[in-house]
Amino acid sequence: MAFMPWRLKYLAKMAQGASYSTLLKRTMAFKSAISLETLYPTSSLKLTTPAFTPDPKEKFSGFIPMEKLDITYSASSGPGGQNVNKVHTKVDLRFKLSEADWIDPEIREKMLELHGKKLTKDGYLIIRSDTTRSQQLNLADCLQKLRNLIRDAAVTQREPSPDTQERIRQRHLKAARLRVALKREDSLKRGLRQPPTVVDL
């Protein structure tokens, strides 16, 4: 049996009761040795939020609860052949900023002040990403954009000291005087360029 041609093997197995389509699928099926199922047999691509206890002293630690976000996927634009029409890799991440209790109230108010024009009529902040052809990478890009927005709003501007304010005022005065002097110099140059007038004697 081991030396029979492969067609005769199929005929022999079909005679034993196995269907040809099942045998063909088993023969044509191929799994790479470095596939995700082989390397990580117990892993899953499902989005879950790990257990995390934020530090009360820190306004934002970078942790974003996934269950508080509304994430949708759609077909991405740009080059990619037929695959771009089949795979939904574009990520839209949205949440209602005014009801985001997982963001510090001070940071939330600052974000409303900075990004109020970007909100929808219902008050949702939308972050999109379609930079790659991977759904997971685009989602990670959206989350990183959201972290950057929160961290930018968390930065507090320190009040300058009186000495610093005086130095800034002196610089502004010096710049204003220099601007006026340059304008006067340009005015004199334009006056010298005028043609001479003929005086009747």
CATH of the domain at 134: 3.30.160.20
Total structural domains in the chain? Answer: 1
Model confidence band, residue 1 (pLDDT cutoffs 50, 70, 90)? very low
21: pLDDT strictly greater than 60: no
Query: What's the rounded Cα separation, in Å, for the pair 185 and 181?
Result: 6
What number is the average pLDDT over the span 73-88? Answer: 70
pLDDT at 175: 94
Q: Is the dihedral of CA 54, 55, 56, 57 positive or negative?
A: negative
- Nearest alpha-carbon partner for 20 in 29, 35, 9, 31: 9
pTM exceeding 0.75 = no
Query: What's the rounded Cα separation, in Å, for the pair 122 and 125?
Result: 9
Beta bridge partners of 93: 71, 127
Model confidence band, residue 191 (pLDDT cutoffs 50, 70, 90)? confident
User: Would 81 be classed as within a structural domain?
Assistant: yes
56: pLDDT strictly greater than 70: no
Residue-range definition of the domain harbouring residue 75? 66-154
37: pLDDT strictly greater than 60: yes
User: Would 77 be classed as within a structural domain?
Assistant: yes
Amino acid at 44: S
User: Would 76 be classed as within a structural domain?
Assistant: yes
What number is the average pLDDT over the span 161-183? Answer: 92
Q: Are 75 and 85 in contact (CB under 8 A)?
A: yes
pLDDT at 148: 92
Q: Rounded to whole angstroms, what are the CA distances from 195 to 183, 189, 191, 192, 198?
A: 21, 13, 9, 8, 10
Tokens of 31: 């799994």
